Amino acid sequence: MGRKLPQILTEEEFNQVLKVTKQPHHRLAFKLAFLCGLRISEVVKLQPKDIDYNRKLIFIHQAKGGKDRYVPIAPSLKRDLRILPFKCGMRALQTAFKEKVKKAGIDKDLHFHSLRHSSATFYLRKGMDLQQVQVFLGHSNLSTTSIYLHADPADIEKKVSEIWK
């Protein structure tokens, strides 16, 4: 049986979710997952001491598989990070995300982890290569990262049209 492709948010849909999210901690959590590719467990564990503003990096301690990694800080996050540490847990973030997706009028079966999937897809489409995305997400195997290589039918149609001009 084949593997089901993860549901993702487009950049526009992500911005819609942010527009309806007023709680600063929720907004920051959603941004960290989408802009930095963080898992929900990595988001809630984040502490002010993990932010290196000089090097523009976030240090992720003991992520999945007990691995540490550094993640670049997206420029739009710098000011938001000052509200750390988080005042909510994983379940609260999962619930908040589901509510905000619905409030934004997005009819997809999305979960908080969908933000991480969306992040990987977003960066691949913006030109980051697969190996860079692998390191960014902290995957041990390239095959894990390769699930984000799913092709958008609209992109394929555009490419076919270009070839047959």
Q: Say if residue 98 is exposed, middle or buried (CB neighbours under 10 Å; 0-12, 13-18, 19+).
A: middle
Catalytic residue among 31, 116, 117, 123: 116
DSSP-assigned letters across all residues of 86-143: PSS-HHHHHHHHHHHHHHTT--S---HHHHHHHHHHHHHHTT--HHHHHHHHT-S-HH
Is residue 26 part of the annotated active site? The answer reads no
Q: Tokens in use for 163?
A: 């070839």
Catalytic residue among 64, 82, 102, 158: 64
Is residue 117 part of the annotated active site? The answer reads no
Asked if 26 contacts 93 with a C-beta cutoff of 8 angstroms, the reply is yes
For residues 27 and 12, give the distance between their C-alpha atoms in angstroms, rounded to a whole number.
15
For residues 77 and 93, give the distance between their C-alpha atoms in angstroms, rounded to a whole number.
18
3-class state of residue 52 by DSSP: strand
Catalytic residue among 25, 100, 117, 139: 139
Is residue 56 part of the annotated active site? The answer reads no
Catalytic residue among 56, 61, 69, 113: 113
Catalytic residue among 39, 100, 117, 123: 39
Is residue 69 part of the annotated active site? The answer reads no
Is residue 150 part of the annotated active site? The answer reads no
Q: Which residues are catalytic?
A: 39, 64, 113, 116, 139, 148
